[in-house]
Amino acid sequence: MAAPAMETFTLEEIVLPNTSNMAAPAMETFTPEEIPDLEKSSQAERAQWVLNAPEPPGPWRELIHSVRETLLGPCGNKLLALKNQPGPEQVVLFLQGIFPILVWCRSYSVTKFKNDLLAGLTIASLCIPQSIGYATLAKLDPQYGLYTSVVPPLIYAVMGTSREIAIGPVAVVSLLLPSMIQKLQDPVADPVSYTKLVLTATFFAGIFQTAFGLFRLGFLVDFLSHAAIVGFVAGAAIVIGLQQLKGLLGISHFTNKTDVISVGEAVWRSVHHHWSPYNFILGCSFLSFILFTRFLGRRKKRLFWLPAIAPLLSVILSTLIVFLTRADTHGIKIVKHIKGGLNPSSLHQLQLDGPQVGEVAKAGLVVAVVALTEAIAVGRSFSSIKGYNIDGNKEMVAIGFMNVIGSFTSCYVATGSFSRTAVNFSAGCETLVSNIVMAITVIISLQLFTRLLYFTPIAILASIILSALPGLIDLSAAYNIWKIDKLDFLTCIAAFFGVLFVSVEIGLLVAVAISFAKIILISILPGTETLGRIPGTDMFCDINQYPMASKTSGVVIIRVKSAVICFANANIIKESIMRWVTEDQAEDTKLANVKGHNIYKLVILDTSGLMDVDTSGIASLQELHKNLTSHGIELAIANPRWQVIHKLRLANFVSKIGGRVYLTVGEAVGAAAPDAERANIQA
Amino acid sequence: MAAPAMETFTLEEIVLPNTSNMAAPAMETFTPEEIPDLEKSSQAERAQWVLNAPEPPGPWRELIHSVRETLLGPCGNKLLALKNQPGPEQVVLFLQGIFPILVWCRSYSVTKFKNDLLAGLTIASLCIPQSIGYATLAKLDPQYGLYTSVVPPLIYAVMGTSREIAIGPVAVVSLLLPSMIQKLQDPVADPVSYTKLVLTATFFAGIFQTAFGLFRLGFLVDFLSHAAIVGFVAGAAIVIGLQQLKGLLGISHFTNKTDVISVGEAVWRSVHHHWSPYNFILGCSFLSFILFTRFLGRRKKRLFWLPAIAPLLSVILSTLIVFLTRADTHGIKIVKHIKGGLNPSSLHQLQLDGPQVGEVAKAGLVVAVVALTEAIAVGRSFSSIKGYNIDGNKEMVAIGFMNVIGSFTSCYVATGSFSRTAVNFSAGCETLVSNIVMAITVIISLQLFTRLLYFTPIAILASIILSALPGLIDLSAAYNIWKIDKLDFLTCIAAFFGVLFVSVEIGLLVAVAISFAKIILISILPGTETLGRIPGTDMFCDINQYPMASKTSGVVIIRVKSAVICFANANIIKESIMRWVTEDQAEDTKLANVKGHNIYKLVILDTSGLMDVDTSGIASLQELHKNLTSHGIELAIANPRWQVIHKLRLANFVSKIGGRVYLTVGEAVGAAAPDAERANIQA
């Protein structure tokens, strides 16, 4: 106990003098030799610890390590555990790893099934009309939406790790897919080959998603920052809403573009020529009905099912109305024939050769990332409510696999739908069985009820999609981003307007670009802050952040505000440090005539926050040292990181500054003013 | 003196317990309430300092500030001083600011002039042949090189702040300019309009350089990192050398491309058909002569003038030889007519309209940056030897202005030549008068001696350029870069091969791109390190860097390795932290059965190195906290920076983690283990 006590006492000796206005003897500069033995031993020792740190891992090792960090998911230790298991159990564990259903089905019970059944039927009733609507949004025949609500949910049910997520077609993907594919093939001119391209894109999307999962590239999904997603989804919601005007106004000639201006023009043109008010009236009335039920559902939690089945109700009602009044003869646009029956195979429709395959693959990649982002965002947000963890990489494999199989069975890209997942959750689902129930329900309706949907007005589908959009525009999130991080908000806004006024992909691209530009900016933004001692500690902190921090006379302690001293900011940092010193010097010399001291003898560079310094950075540090020396000022380095001190040592910078490298700013200050300590020891 | 002593003593109380293996009572987690009053007061107080720091400057203020930092050069305080001066003195100061010659000419003396005269004549003798050679390299008529050695040096002499720099045409620029201009206009097909474009590019380069200086955008030059320049210049040197093979082998048909492969092909083709060995023999013999003299100059410092005048000597000798032997009739290629007389005006030749102006301006920009980079590198390296400072922005104005005027007087882009500056320096120049002397000498030779150069063999010019190249390939610098920073070396190599195998601009582009990609990589590379207490201090450092650092039982202290926790790395960081805890947890529980304690109660996140955290980062910090809580582990934050704590407070993260924010890791540890302290107080 004694030794450390003494050590720390001597430590205090170093620090305390700087609280009191430093005494005259502290004014000369001190070479390490002059430091009293007792002090020197422990301090020099620590300085040696800094200098003689073991060899840090090389950049490649660093890189490989952090790649491993990135790739080795949380199931890493499971894998380790797996190694120690005997043969058969290994197989079981392995299978359980791929098919989580094997784990949770054991503890499955009748009561759980009751809840899942209820939840399943509820989301089915919401899913059927939405699927048809999203299919039309994706410029596909309605049945493709229903197909997409059959196979993917079933596959996800056995492979997924989330419990609440409801799989199927979603708005954003249904918008993104055509916006990229219709450049290659006009859906109106040749719907068949357009559908083929969409299915091919789905296949590629599935492959990419599976690959991301298998190679644990989950972090790629993170490249869409929270802010970017908020802006992007909000923009997409508005674009989708505009697309629905076609159905709501019963416009026959519409634009293929998605940006506000061209859609606005198209609507404006049509409104002046041919549009049927009946569509509009019918659509709006049911839209208001759906919104009203949602309002009720919000008010009374036990009425959660009402908004859930409202869409189905309005489909049935409107279909009946049209059927009885034969309103389709009065200009009400109707769905007409929906092909019934189970998912047909679409293996032969995939076009994996030909000139367009590259473009289609690119579209697949973009959709894959967006779909994964939504699915994982949905999954995480609900799993964190129930307090369990979902494995991002495993999720990707599941979603990817379901989309690959989907592309073989006439499904387009499916993912986790936020609106339906929310319903599923509030309907009290227990496991993914609710998805199975939903899928079966859709199968039944595909077999029996499709021809009943003949008279369903398109305006209703539009109003159903419209009713789902407000949930996508998250103003409070946007406000939070604005409140917390203005630059993040810029990303958000850029994504929003990019989607709105240019195109969906451009919006995404701009958002990602800005996000990374921001990182560069923050990392190299030059700037320095002077540190002062926090009373009662030997901490030295930014005197702007801590006004109570006390400056140490004769010493200027500077911390660089950027993470790296590199080619881009090294010179500016050097010059601003020189300015700190020289300008203060200028002032102080005026004072000097009065007080007789208070001129800097030492500049301490606190490098604790410095991640890296490159050769340009070291070069300008050496220039800084030269310039300081010409002003008769010494340079000391405090608390350098592993890589930094290693590089400085390699560049012989340490020896150049006379080995003035210390573990803490406190010790650097102390080393400069030992006499003051002696004074304190006597005191 | 008493108060701080007590404070610091209590500080030790916090720290010491963690050196000894923590005692049993420390094993429960403690809410701040339970901390003893004496301790609480000061510690809680400091925690409040962290939390109630004044509002940090907003991002815009921050941005504007660092922009000001960047733009306000070191002459900032001069300007301030200027304000306080009366009228007439202001004018003088202002003029002196623009024309530094007004400052140093006062103290000019005869002795100084003697040195300058000698130095001036020496660099003139080197400059004349080099200028002719570089002009041919730039695919211009020889006299343009001489013109460029007249006007720019004179203008720089009155405006420049460097004292040694020798202005004129240089190799790299003479290579870069045609490589970009000849895409627009073939110099062989139509030399006149090619020359016009070159002069226009020169004009734009000058404008850009002046603008950089006036708007203090000096930092733009820094975007070419040291490593990039080393690689780029070395690559350029080799490319230039290959270009000289044309003259050295007397090849008439040569390629316009600059990359190794196409030049190699061109040479190979020509060597098999028509080349005159005489050119080769003549060139090589004089090349070896020049190199020999340089060798001598290196050996005996007082013979420095020998390598300097060797080129001129060999020009004179070779010209005489050819003249006497009429060797030009035997296939020796000669310069033929060089237009004599002073610089003609080229105002009317500038083409500031037309379709190509955009491309020409782009070329001008690239050349401007490269030229400035070389000039400032040269200036800095020699000024730092003599120990005075050169003002980067003022330099840019001077160089820009001289190039603008140059473009009016038939000069192409001039800048500081490294080889001639070195000669100027070793010739003992005192001021820029040596440049004036050089210019006058060139004028005289333009007036009188140009027709004497009729018989000068082109092979000699090639060998003179070749002899200058080895100085451009800085192997030791490349080795240093490799030794210190492998990633920097990658930039260097990329620039080198980019120039060598693709093109000069691509080489530059690649280098800049890699440099910035590196910054992103370093800033977001995820990874965490556990900290331990350095014995005898209350510092907590990376236990890998400091093996003697002691872990604190029951507490895991983690520092994030990256500069920002943002969308790109937040999730990975979160997961790796969770892995830290849970895996160790797993091990420790095994131990727990033995020891009966040693399970983590607290995770302390040392955020001292964290520059920024964005909304995605905060989101995943909140997830981290949730997950930790579900493991019964608390989360504490130590030493957050201004911006970071501000954002965390705005996001209510601080309240979420129960206000566990501390000034230092030590205090965070102490707060978790007050009983141990009590024990120490009794002890």
Cβ proximity of A116 and A428 under 8 Å: no
Q: How far apart are CA B617 and CA B628, in angstroms?
A: 16
The DSSP 8-state label assigned to residue B274 in this structure reads -
Report residue B109: phi and psi, to 5°: -135, 170
Least Cα distance to A662 among A645, A679, A647 occurs for A645
A485 contacts in B (CB within 8 Å)? 59, 614-615, 647
Cα–Cα nearest to B626, from B561, B667, B553, B577: B577
* Residue partners of B234: CB distance under 8 A and separation at least 6: B472, B473, B474, B478, B496
Residue of B nearest to A8 (CA): B536
Cβ B611–A522 below 8 Å, yes or no?
yes
Say which amino acid occupies A221. Answer: V
Residue A552 burial (C-beta neighbours within 10 Å; 0-12, 13-18, 19+) = buried
Q: In this complex, do B536 and A616 lie within 8 Å of one another by their Cβ atoms?
A: no
Nearest to A522 among B612, B626, B639 (CB): B612
Nearest CA in chain A to B21: A1
Is A536 within 8 Å of B11 when comparing Cβ atoms? yes
From chain A, the residues in CB contact with B483 under 8 A are: 650
Q: Any residues with CB less than 8 A from the CB of B665 and at least 6 apart, and which? A: B531, B538, B540, B557, B604, B606, B638, B639
By Cβ distance, the residue of A42, A63, A484 closest to B650 is A484
| Nearest partner of A501 among A270, A263, A266, judged by Cα | A263
**What's the rounded Cα separation, in Å, for the pair B463 and B290?**
9
Closest by CA position to B44, among listed B20, B17, B14, B18: B14
The string of pLDDT tens digits covering residues B337-364 is: 788 888 899 888 888 888 889 999 999 9
Q: Which residues of B touch A8 (CB under 8 A)?
A: 12, 15-16, 536-538
**Which residues of chain A have a CB within 8 Å of the CB of B612?**
522
CA distance A568 to chain B (A): 5
- Mean pLDDT over B384-396 rounds to 79
Q: How far apart are CA A549 and CA A542, in angstroms?
A: 8
Q: How far apart are CA A162 and CA A383, in angstroms?
A: 7
For B20-74, what is each residue's pLDDT tens digit? 333 333 333 334 444 343 334 466 677 677 777 777 776 677 667 666 655 554 4
3-state class of B636 per DSSP? strand
Between B4, B15, B485, which is nearest A615 by CB? B485
Please write the tens of the pLDDT for every residue from B573-615: 888 888 877 766 555 555 544 443 447 788 999 988 888 888 8
Question: Tell me, what's the pLDDT at B590?
Answer: 52
Cα of B486 to nearest chain A Cα, Å: 7
At residue A156, the pLDDT reads 95
A421-425, B89-93, B366-370: range with lowest mean pLDDT:
B89-93
Round to whole Å and give the CA distance between A183 and A591. 73
pLDDT given at position B97: 78
Whether residue A542 and residue B641 make contact (CB cut-off 8 A), yes or no, is: yes
The mean per-residue pLDDT over the stretch B506-531 comes to 83
CA dihedral A361, A363, A369, A373 (to 10 degrees): -150
pLDDT value of residue B680: 44
Contacts of A12 (CB under 8 A, 6+ apart): A538, B5, B8, B12
Q: How many CA atoms lie within 13 A of B225 on its CB side?
A: 38
Average pLDDT value over all residues in chain B? 81
Domain boundaries, chain B: 110-518, 526-682
- Decide if A619 and B546 are in contact by the 8 Å CB cutoff: no
d(CA A76, CA A219): 16
In chain A, which residues have their Cβ closer than 8 Å to the Cβ of B524?
A: 519
Distance in Å, alpha carbon of B614 to nearest chain A alpha carbon: 6
pLDDT surpasses 60 at B182: yes
Name the closest residue on chain A to residue B578, using Cα atoms.
A74
b/e burial code for range A110-140 (CB count within 10 A of at least 16 → b): eeebebbeebbbbbbbbbbbbbbbbbbbbbb
Give the pLDDT confidence score for residue A83 in this predicted structure: 52
Residue among B62, B63, B572 whose CB faces A219 most closely: B572
The pLDDT of residue B596? 37
Contact B651 A480 (CB under 8 A): yes
Measured CA angle at A522 (ends A520, A524), to 5 deg: 65
Q: Between B45 and B634, name the one with better pLDDT.
A: B634
Sites in chain A below the pLDDT cut of 50: 1-41, 73-82, 592-598, 675-683
> Confidence class of residue B267 from pLDDT cuts 50, 70 and 90?
confident
Which residue from B12, B76, B579 is facing A8, i.e. has the nearest CB?
Answer: B12
Where is A404: in which H helix or E strand?
A: helix A392-408
Q: Do B537 and A58 touch (CB under 8 A)?
A: no
CB pairs under 8 A between A and B: 328
Query: Which positions in chain B touch A224 (Cβ < 8 Å)?
Result: 567
A545, A607, A649, A650: best to mutate for the B interface, most B CBs within 10 A = A545
DSSP designation for A644: H
Percent of chain B, pLDDT > 70? 85
Better pLDDT: A673 or B634: B634
Give the largest Cα separation in chain B, rounded. Answer: 107
Residue in the block written with tokens 């933004």: A525
Q: Which residue has the tokens 């911006």?
A: B643
CATH class of B526-682: alpha beta
Cβ-count burial A398-421 (b if 16+ within 10 Å, e if not): bbbbbbbbbbbbbbbbbbbbbbbb
Asked if the Cβ–Cβ distance from B522 to A563 is below 8 Å, we say yes
Integer-rounded Cα Rg, in Å, for chain B is 34
Alpha helices (H) in A498-569, listed in sequence order: 504-524
Query: Nearest chain B Cα to A548, which residue?
Result: B49
Residue B43, pLDDT score:
65
| Closest residue on chain A to B584 (Cα) | A77
Residue among A548, A566, A567 with most chain B CBs within 10 A, to mutate: A567
